[in-house]
Each structure stands twice: as C-alpha cells, then as structure tokens.
Amino acid sequence: MSTSPRRRTTIKDVAEAAGVGVATVSRVLSGTGSASPETRERVLEAAARLDYRPSALGRNLRQRRSGGIGLLVPDITDMFYGRLADGVFACARSAGEPVIVGVTGDDPEREAGQIGTLVEQSVERVIAVPAGDGESWTSAIRAGLTVVFADRRPPGHDAVPAVLSDDRTGMRTALEYLTGLGHRRIAFLARYGQRQRVRAFTETLTSLGVPADEELIAYARASRDSAYAAAAGLFQHRPDLTALLAGGNMLGEAAVLAARELDLRIPRDVSLIMFDDVPWAELCSPPLTVIAQPARDMGYRAAELVLREGRRARGVRGATLPTELIVRASCSPRRQPTPGGRIR
C-alpha cells in the first residue's frame, strides 16, 4: 500500500495554528520587529508542533543557542575581504566556532536579506562590512544580535564596536606625498559605503590648501565592471586630473586597466596610489604605491571582539589599526600641460 508524501508545513499553517497573521509569524521567527511575549511563545509552540522547518530555528532563538559567527562582506573575491575573512576563520577555528559567510554586494536590500537569513539560522554574533546607511542593522541590534563592524562603520551606530584601519592617517600620508610632488587635481575612486574614506579625502585636501572638487570623486559598486566604468569615466571626463587615489585593490585594478585602454601612462600621465597592498601591486608595471592595511588582523580582531561581546564583556568598543604608505614607482612629479590640454 503506497502512501502519498506528507505536505510540507507552511508559514500560513503556523499562523492559523497560533491564531495570528503571517506577518507576525515572520517577525517572531526572524527575530525582527515587535511581538508580545505571549504571542511569541504561541508562535514558537505552533511552529514546533507542526514541525515547520524554520521552527527549529525559532526553538533555538527561544533557548538562545548560538549558531556560530556570521560574516557579511561586499565581495568574497576581493583580496582585501578574502584576507579579512581568513582572519575571522583563524580566530573562530581556535574558539571552535563555525563561520557562515554572506555576500552583500554593497547592496542594502541584499544585506537586509542576509541579516534575516542569519537570524533564521540562529546566528547571534555577526561581523559585517556594512552596506548603505546602516538602517538594516538598527532592528537587528534591537532584536539582540551581537554585531561588530569591520573596515567601516555606518552612520548612527557609533556605539557598536568596530575594527577599522586608520584611514585618516593613511589618507593624509598619501595626499601629502602627492601634493609634495606638485599634484593639485587629485581624483578619488571610491566604493559606495566608503563614507569615512571620502570624508578623510576631502578634509585632508582642504587642510593641505587644495580645493576638494566633488567632480573628481567617483563611486563604484562591488563589481569589476562598475569599478572600470567609474575609473574610465573619471579619465575621460576630467583630462585635467594628474593623480588618482583608489579606495581599494579592485578599484586600483580598474584604474590601471582603464588607463591602459585610454593610452594613459602611469605615472607619466597620471600618478596612482591604491588602498590595499596585494601581491599583484608589486608585480604591476610600474609597481604601485599603496596604503597597506592589515586586513587579516582586522578580521582576527573583529572575531575576538564579537566572541568577547557575546560573553557580555565590557569596556572594549573596538580598535583602529595602523596603515602604512609603501612608495613604489606609480607616482611622479606633476608635469606641465601640452598644447592638447593633457597634463604631461
């Protein structure tokens, strides 16, 4: 005698059994939004009784079981974030904690979905390179998620621990070097989300007596195509720029490729400095001057901190790690303009 397969329990079944709406069930099981203790208990009980698959997650939330460490980064193929992740893995491994990795693409909506997924999986501790304005994190932190930011901190979350590189000092060292070579029209190629780095760029230029031209700041998303388009746009629309500072290694790679495609010579036509010291930077022709950041240490320290915060330690609110300007061959003194208008 054959039996038909059992129908999978849906969120609607849980809502009907608990006597609440589907939205209420979703809020309770994801750990976001508000619900009374009685309603929450009723939803979790119904989900467990009906064996709703995410209900096991709900039971874990109720019992406050940890599901390891969540790690959200914009792009796992970016060498900087790969090294940051390696630091997280190393620390988590020594503590016997698994790591669940999510990729946001620097997209706030995608980030919000990743946060919801981590909460559904009972992950209570998250290390994140945040995207957007940080709105996604407000409800997550209010719901009890332990969060440590890495590489950047979104506005409005100054109380959340963060492990950052010393962008301001790194930026000042790089811009002092470029202005010392005579450069005044200096562009910045940034990722969306690098607000602190952009602010450091404009404020440092102003303090050095160089007007900060907003048209010399271009933004790219977390993809090579977007970075290339932003770099090429800068070179094509502002032929008067003489130096470019790239906010990360993917952006620097895009700037090198765009310059070659447009027949611009580094450093004769444009000087280039890049955040991140990656292996190809020294092998590039010419080797690139970089602002080196301790990406692996950043990940390790962030993991140490999120584990400590998870044990309700007090007094440690983050760390700022040093950067270093490594001078190679991608910068030269500013040249005078030719009759065609290009600075040479």
Output the DSSP codes for 222-235: SSHHHHHHHHHHHH
- Position with higher pLDDT, 130 vs 30: 130
**Dihedral (C-alpha) 254, 279, 299, 89: value to the nearest 10 degrees?**
110
The residues that bridge with 191 in the sheet, in sequence order, are: 220
What CATH number is attached to the domain comprising 228? 3.40.50.2300
201 and 289 together in one domain: yes
The residue among 257, 278, 294 that closes a domain is 294
Look at residue 63 in the predicted model and tell me its pLDDT. 47
pTM of the model: 0.77
Output the DSSP codes for 10-66: -HHHHHHHHTS-HHHHHHHHHT-S---HHHHHHHHHHHHHTT-HHHHHHHHHHHT--
35/169 Cα distance (integer angstroms): 46
Percent of the chain with pLDDT over 70: 87
For the segment 178-212, what is each residue's pLDDT rounded down to a tens digit? 999 999 999 999 998 899 999 999 999 999 999 99
Mean pLDDT of the chain: 87
Residue 23 CB partners (closer than 8 Å, separation 6+): none
H, E, C per residue of 307-331: HHHHCCCCCCCEEEECCEEECCCCC
160 and 302 together in one domain: yes
If one counts the domains in the chain, the total is: 3
> Tokens 């993809």 appear where?
223
219/114 Cα distance (integer angstroms): 24
275 and 316 together in one domain: no
Q: In which band, very low, low, confident or very high, does the pLDDT at 31 lie, cut at 50, 70 and 90? A: low
Best CA proximity match to 115, nearest among 192, 31, 28? 31
Sign of CA dihedral 159, 160, 166, 172: negative
Look at residue 314 in the predicted model and tell me its pLDDT. 45
304 and 279 together in one domain: no
For the segment 247-279, what is each residue's pLDDT rounded down to a tens digit? 999 999 999 999 999 999 999 999 999 999 999
- Structure tokens that stand for 191 in this block: 């990722």
Look at residue 174 in the predicted model and tell me its pLDDT. 98
Range of the domain at 282: 167-294
